[in-house]
Amino acid sequence: MQHPKISIIIAVLNRKQHLQKAIESVINQDFTDYELIIVDGKSTDGTLDIIRKYESKIGYWESSKDKNVYDAMNKAIAKTNGDWLYFLGADDEICKDSFQNIFSQNWKDANLIFGNIKYQNNQQFVGSFSNKLFLKNSIHHQAAVYHKRCFYGRNYNCNYSVLADYDLNLQLFLENKKAIYFDADFAICGNDGISKQKGWTHYKQEFDIKKNRLNVVQFVVYGGFTLGKFVLNRLGIL
């Protein structure tokens, strides 16, 4: 196939009620220099019927058991042909003209183009590739377009079932990769994604990522910050 500018990836499991809108938000873009890749985790609710309905618009799809959503994303990355990668949640929709606007500019040498997302309740998440990453994941993966070279020699760490994207973003920041902020909403996202379900698993993974990526002084400060957030969450304050 023709070498596309961007590979748009959707990892999905049992999202029949939402997937069609996600796919249509992709194919209804004026921007056409893309391929759509869908990796399904053996859905049983009719999701596969939706995929087959749009099969002619999909560059590649498969349905196979996976460990978690990041495992599905890794499978998709291996099938991509684009220079850039974008990960759209199956419950989410790309904002009209997002990629037309983004790729109207030349992002020479950039490794990451990031912006904002809007939740269905109209709240906005504004991305930041800065020291804020020491505190939390300040880049939403639905508002980030990664150059494929970001994944040369690495994949998402599937041991982090809810925060593997944070682990990647923190690595890129610590490696001083070039990231450019594009002030626009990339997508409209559901209000209940896995990264918003902040129970013990979320805080434990954030703590472990900081332990594995930060130096001792940074970890003492920012690992302690994560523990503090967990305590406040348990007390109902956060």
pLDDT tens-digit map of 113-133: 999 999 988 899 999 999 999
Tally the domains of the chain.
2
Across 2-11, average pLDDT: 88
Secondary structure (3-state) at 117: strand
Is residue 182 located within the same domain as residue 209?
no
Is 0.85 topped by the overall pTM?
Answer: yes
Is residue 54 located within the same domain as residue 134?
yes
Is residue 151 located within the same domain as residue 228?
no
Is residue 211 located within the same domain as residue 119?
no
Give CA–CA dist 178/120, Å, rounded: 30
Phi, psi of 58 (to 5 degrees): -105, 130
**Residue that is last in its domain, among 192, 208, 227:** 192
Is residue 54 located within the same domain as residue 124?
yes
Give CA–CA dist 181/115, Å, rounded: 6
Give CA–CA dist 208/226, Å, rounded: 10
